[in-house]
């Protein structure tokens, strides 16, 4: 059998057609292919980035802090968190947790913090008193339950009786939780090390199953570990080519310096568009924007950002778009809540008032099926009708154009609503 090595150019051609997860795995395990693998643009069907995880196609890579107690004496909540890949908080030398929101911004990072984050300390006297009171309350109530089980009616005032409706199992869990929260205070007071060992754990999730891949000594903080892992995945590559990019982070995207992503579809929060635009190469065809954020985090000028202005198709849950001069070829409004029939017609008229290319479309999701027919009936009374049938009406536009308004069913996943009204600008 001829075992001639694969030539460099041939290897690059082969790598073009290999799944991104397999390519990354090959690159880490086989030094001989690493240079060629890095030189070939990495292509993915779907890339999801968040604060501590990356989804590549059908595989999720999750980093977390695994906590290991001596003699395997881990609390139940810690066992559950470890089984899910670990917690996304760091711990100091005494065991006090501090969130990733307190971690610094490193070169290349894309921060989506709003600047109003407040770091909640877990080592205050007030918290210690709170957990001590919680433990005392649970122990007294557990004593009362034990007395009842032995036939002795416990003596307690009414304030304790009002809080005595928890089950025995629930009270035991609450007491154990309070004890664990009090341990770091004890360690700090007596200058003792934290009661558990920490490790950085890399896990994968595929087909709903979590699998630990690697567990490393806790020599760097979680944000640094995420940064290092993303550097291994994405650094020193040409622009990564993705069919769909989804941004789900709340704090910081820990990415390598100079990373560029070319994507056909982008899903992102309104407030993050300006930040994510920095890592995009070129424009996106389809932009999905959602606004699940606090009012203080919103970007009032998000609709003016380059990815929004240049997207061929814009999918959003914000009907105020129709009060902006948005000119995307296709606009889909979904999950916009309850509107009256007149308000739906107002959105259509606002869309019609902006100069658009022939073939432009507006889709508006509606709450109930009959709303579509109501919209068609009312829009006929407000404009000049050219033609009508059972499920559509054609009205006169400007500059010799016609506008078709019709009932639609949303059978794909582009909109949350099943029923919709479609408006299309057509030639005469």
pLDDT tens per residue, range 166-180: 788 889 999 999 999
Enclosing H/E stretch for 99: strand 97-99
pLDDT level of residue 428 (50, 70, 90 thresholds): confident
Question: How many whole angstroms separate alpha carbon 137 and alpha carbon 132?
Answer: 9
Q: How many Cα atoms are found within 13 Å in the side-chain-facing hemisphere of 5?
A: 5
Which residues fall within 8 angstroms of residue 234, CB to CB, at 6 or more apart?
Answer: 42, 240, 255, 256, 259
Question: How many whole angstroms separate alpha carbon 351 and alpha carbon 322?
Answer: 6
* pLDDT above 90 for 215: yes
* pLDDT above 90 for 133: yes
Question: How many whole angstroms separate alpha carbon 263 and alpha carbon 244?
Answer: 6
Note the pLDDT of residue 189: 95
Q: Residue 298 is encoded by which pair of tokens?
A: 């919103």
**Structural contact between residues 377 and 390, judged by C-beta atoms closer than 8 angstroms:** no
Note the pLDDT of residue 92: 94
List the end-to-end C-alpha distance of the chain, in Å, as a whole number. Answer: 69
Q: What ranges do the domains of the chain cover?
A: 125-193, 261-426
Question: How many whole angstroms separate alpha carbon 264 and alpha carbon 270?
Answer: 18
pLDDT level of residue 227 (50, 70, 90 thresholds): very high
* pLDDT above 60 for 161: no
The per-residue DSSP string of 378-390 comes to: HHHTTS-EEEE-S
Pairing of strands 286-290, 261-269: parallel
Question: How many whole angstroms separate alpha carbon 202 and alpha carbon 216?
Answer: 9
**Structural contact between residues 317 and 290, judged by C-beta atoms closer than 8 angstroms:** yes
Alpha-carbon 135 to chain mean position:
36
Alpha-carbon 286 to chain mean position:
18
Give which of 31, 37, 58 is closest to 47, Cα–Cα: 58
Note the pLDDT of residue 4: 53
* pLDDT above 70 for 2: no
- Least confident piece of the model among 72-86, 147-161, 225-239, 340-354: 147-161
* pLDDT above 60 for 75: yes
Question: How many whole angstroms separate alpha carbon 418 and alpha carbon 409?
Answer: 6
Helix (H, G, I), strand (E, B) or coil at 318: coil
Percent of the chain exceeding pLDDT 90 equals 50
Calculate the dihedral angle through the C-alpha atoms of 337, 343, 345, 349, rounding to the nearest 10 degrees.
Answer: -110
If you average pLDDT over residues 339-356, what whole number do you get?
90
Note the pLDDT of residue 415: 77
Give which of 374, 387, 320, 323 is closest to 345, Cα–Cα: 374
Question: How many whole angstroms separate alpha carbon 281 and alpha carbon 290?
Answer: 22
What Cα–Cα distance (Å) separates residue 142 from each residue in 179, 181, 418? 15, 19, 52
Phi, psi of 304 (to 5 degrees): -90, -5
* pLDDT above 90 for 143: no
Q: Residue 204 is encoded by which pair of tokens?
A: 């994968």
Give which of 135, 64, 123, 67 is closest to 96, Cα–Cα: 123
Note the pLDDT of residue 224: 95
pLDDT level of residue 308 (50, 70, 90 thresholds): very high
For 28-42, the pLDDT digits (tens) are: 888 888 888 888 889
Which residues fall within 8 angstroms of residue 337, CB to CB, at 6 or more apart?
Answer: none
If you average pLDDT over residues 137-144, what whole number do you get?
88
Other Cβ atoms closer than 10 A to 242: 24
- Least confident piece of the model among 27-31, 124-128, 353-357, 411-415: 411-415
* pLDDT above 70 for 427: yes
């Amino acid at each position: 059998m001829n075992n001639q090595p694969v030539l460099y150019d041939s290897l690059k051609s082969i790598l073009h057609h290999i799944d991104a997860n397999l390519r990354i795995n090959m690159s880490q395990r086989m030094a001989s292919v690493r240079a060629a693998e890095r030189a070939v643009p990495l292509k993915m069907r779907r890339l999801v980035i968040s604060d501590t995880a990356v989804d590549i196609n059908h595989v999720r890579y999750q980093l977390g802090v695994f906590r290991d107690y001596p003699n395997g004496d881990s609390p139940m909540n810690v066992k559950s968190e470890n089984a899910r890949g670990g917690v996304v908080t760091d711990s100091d030398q005494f065991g006090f947790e501090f969130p990733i929101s307190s971690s610094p911004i490193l070169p290349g990072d894309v921060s989506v913090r709003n600047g109003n984050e407040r770091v909640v300390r877990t080592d205050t006297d007030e918290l210690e008193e709170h957990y001590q009171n919680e433990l005392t309350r649970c122990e007294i109530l557990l004593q009362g339950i034990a007395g009842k089980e032995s036939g002795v009616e416990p003596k307690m005032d009414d304030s304790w009786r009002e809080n005595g409706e928890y089950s025995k199992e629930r009270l035991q869990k609450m007491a154990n939780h309070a004890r664990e929260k009090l341990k770091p205070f004890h360690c700090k007071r007596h200058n003792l090390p934290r009661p558990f060992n920490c490790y950085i754990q890399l896990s994968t999730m595929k087909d709903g199953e979590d699998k630990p891949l690697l567990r490393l000594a806790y020599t760097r903080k979680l944000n640094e570990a995420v940064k290092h892992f993303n550097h291994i995945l994405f650094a020193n590559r040409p622009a990564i080519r993705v069919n769909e990019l989804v941004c789900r982070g709340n704090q910081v995207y820990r990415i390598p310096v100079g990373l560029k992503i070319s994507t056909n579809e982008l899903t992102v929060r309104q407030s993050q568009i300006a930040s994510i635009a920095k890592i995009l190469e070129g424009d996106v065809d389809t932009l999905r924007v959602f606004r699940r954020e606090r009012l203080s985090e919103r970007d009032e000028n998000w609709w003016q950002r380059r990815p929004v202005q240049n997207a061929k198709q814009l999918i959003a849950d914000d009907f105020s778009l129709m009060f902006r001069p948005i000119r995307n070829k296709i606009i889909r409004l979904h999950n916009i809540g309850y509107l009256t029939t007149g308000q739906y017609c107002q959105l259509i008229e606002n869309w019609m008032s902006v100069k658009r290319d022939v073939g432009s479309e507006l889709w508006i999701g509606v709450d109930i099926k009959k709303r579509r027919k109501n919209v068609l009936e009312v829009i006929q009374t407000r404009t000049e009708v050219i033609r009508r049938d059972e499920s559509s009406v054609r009205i006169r536009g400007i500059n010799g154009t016609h506008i078709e308004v019709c009932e639609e069913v949303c059978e794909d996943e582009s909109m949350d609503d099943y029923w919709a009204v479609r408006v299309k600008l057509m030639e005469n």
